[in-house]
Structure formats: structure tokens, C-alpha cells
Amino acid sequence: METSWQHTTVLLNEAAEALLTRTDATYVDATFGRGGHSRLLLSKLGPQGRLVAFDKDTEAIAEASRINDARFSIRHEGFSHMGELPPASVAGVLMDLGISSPQIDNPARGFSFRGDGPLDMRMDTTRGESVAQWLATAEQQQIAEVIRDYGEERFAVQIAKAVVARRQERGPVSTTAELAQLVAGTVKTREPGQDPATRTFQALRIFINAELEELQQALEASLEILQPQGRLVVISFHSLEDRIVKQFIAKHSREVFDRRAPFAAPQAMKFKALERIKPSAEEVKANPRSRSAIMRVAERTEVT
């Protein structure tokens, strides 16, 4: 019997409230996931409203096919492809950067150290190489840099040495349990309540899916496709993502002066930061995975 993996959408109502300023406009759900945000947005849009969604995950695409609504469409692509939409064509862009619970909970996807499965971690299992394939050939220095830079793991060098030593002695790591055990045997201290493998798994997932690079591209694309007064709403789940979003909004929330032309009019700011929202205590209690979420809201000020 097929297991039905459940997902609870984080900041569901808060995101919809921040995003929707008109009911007759076009909006983008840049990370469809399991469709929680999309379904709520469609329930609030009028007959002339439209919702365009993006997702790399084939399981998300299958879930989206269950939505029978002419106002809705989805593209099997990463959200950096938003830039292919017409300029100034949408009234809001929502990015929920967390991976969905079904991805975490299904051992076959290889995202979690809590269940044994193939060490995959690809959002789109039809393209690219898995984490296991990459670890089978990557150099020790590469592995260490990825774990350090994307996982902020202070034992990155030791973990990389252990991965390469295991590869030379018994063949490459191929399952989530093998990697988790390898890391646990290498990392001797860890924050209370956190599994030793947490940062390593995060780092490898971010790297293999080029998540931070795609986020940068998607944020730049939002500048092009948002209409004046259009909203950008981004939900982040760890500091690396949130730092990128925060710095992007801050960079475009101030006038830019050309030092080579001191008397020229400054380039107008492109965003106005509106809000920073965290889940309520009630939401965190009901869904502990929401505890690290931060939602940032900005508004497009002008289109050049």
C-alpha cells in the first residue's frame, strides 16, 4: 500500500495575506511543494486572477495535477525560470524555501538521516547526480568546503576525511544511514537536541540542488516580473537563505548614487521592506518544523 506523506504548510494564512493585494491579478507560487499556499491563494483569487507555480520535484508536479482550475498552471522547472515570464506581469511572488515534509519523511528520497534510504537528495530525481554519486568521486577538499560553507559545520574537514577514508577502504557511502553513522563517529560534540549529521545533510542537499544559487537568480528575476506595488514574500528556514533574502531586499531598498556623476539623479530604490514575520507560538507547538521559519515581505516600488 502506498504511504500518504503529510505536509503542513508553514505561515499559510500570513503568506497569503501579505502577498495578495488584488484578486484579479497574476501571482507566482515559486515553490509549489504540496500546494498548501497555492490552494489557499486560488480560493481567494477572483475569476480573472491567475496563479503560475514552479517546482522541480516530480511528486509536486503530480500533486499539482490534482488541481482542476483553469486559473492555475505549473511548470516543471526550478524557480529561477521565473525570469522567463513577461516583465512587470505579476502582482506577487511567493517563495517558500523549505523542503516539504513528504520529502523529509520518505526514506526513498534520501533527504533525512532518520530513516535509511538511498543517499539521493535531488529535488528533481530526473536530472543531475545524486549525493551518493558526487561523494563517490569528489575530492576531500571539495567535500570539506561544501560541508563547511553550506552547513556551517566546524568539523567539516574531519567529516570529509572520514568520507574519503571509507571510500578507499570499503567503497563509497551509498545510504543515508551509512552517512549518518559516519558523521556521528566523527563529530564528537553537538548542540543539545541536534543530531550530529544535521549540518552535513543540510549542506549536501543545498549543494546538490544548487539551492543558494537558484535563490539568487530567482530574487533577481522577481525584480523583472513584479509590477509596481507587487509583493515579494519569502519564507526561509535557515540562516544562509535568510541572509541572502535580507541582503537582497536591503540592497534594493535604498537609492543608488553614481559616484562618477555626483550631480546626477540617484537610481531609485526598487523595493520597500515591509515586514519580518515568524510563526506564532501556537503554530510552532502544532508544527515544530516551523520553528526556524522567517518570512520577509517587500514591495516593488518602480519598474525601469
CATH number, domain with residue 231: 3.40.50.150
Residue 256: the pLDDT is: 55
- 221 and 86 belong to one structural domain: yes
Q: Facing residues of 73 across strands?
A: 52
| Structure-block grid coordinates of residue 280 | 506564532
User: Is the CB of residue 63 less than 8 Å from the CB of residue 35?
Assistant: yes
Residue 7 belongs to some domain of the structure:
no
* Predicted TM-score of the model (pTM): 0.89
pLDDT at residue 46 in the model: 97
Q: Give the integer Cα–Cα distance in Å for 156 and 142.
A: 10
Choose the final residue of a domain: 208, 224, 254: 208
CA distance 13 to 11: 6
Q: How far apart are CA 42 and CA 28, in angstroms?
A: 11
Sheet holding 271-277, edge to edge: 72-75, 50-54, 26-29, 90-96, 226-236, 294-300, 271-277
What type of residue sits at position 183? V
Residue 195 has pLDDT above 50, yes or no: yes
Cell matching residue 61: 508536479
- Which among 208, 230, 259 is the end of a domain? 208
Domain range spanning residue 64? Answer: 12-101+211-300
Residues 283 and 144 in one domain: no
**Three-class SS state of 261:** coil
pLDDT at 19: 98
Among 3-7, 10-14, 276-280, the minimum mean pLDDT is found in 3-7
Tell whether 5 is covered by a domain: no
Lowest-confidence range among 51-65, 92-106, 160-174?
92-106
Please indicate, yes or no, if residue 106 is contained in any of the structural domains: no
**C-alpha cell belonging to residue 136:** 563517490
Together in a domain, 187 and 233: no
Which CA distances in Å does 261 have to 255, 258, 304? 14, 5, 19
Q: Which residue has the higher pLDDT, 89 or 264?
A: 89
The residue among 204 and 7 whose pLDDT is bigger is 204
User: Residues 8, 101: contact at Cβ < 8 Å?
Assistant: yes
- Is the residue at 1 inside a domain? no
DSSP 299: E
- Per cent of the chain over pLDDT 70 is 88
Examine residue 253 and state whether it is found in any structural domain, yes or no.
yes
Same domain, yes or no, for 219 and 90? Answer: yes
> Tens digits of per-residue pLDDT, 21-46?
999 999 999 999 989 999 999 999 99
Residues 54 and 85 placed together within one structural domain of the fold? yes
Distance (Å, whole) CA 135 – CA 255: 45
Q: Which of 208, 229, 256 is the last residue of a domain?
A: 208
More confident residue, 6 or 202: 202
When mean pLDDT is compared over 4-13, 94-103, 142-151, the highest value belongs to 142-151
The answer to whether residues 161 and 140 touch, using CB atoms and an 8 Å cutoff, is: yes
Residue 35, domain member (yes or no): yes
CATH of the domain at 135: 1.10.150.170
Mean pLDDT of 73-90: 96
The CA R_g of the chain, rounded to the nearest whole Å, is 21
Q: Are residues 97 and 233 in the same domain?
A: yes
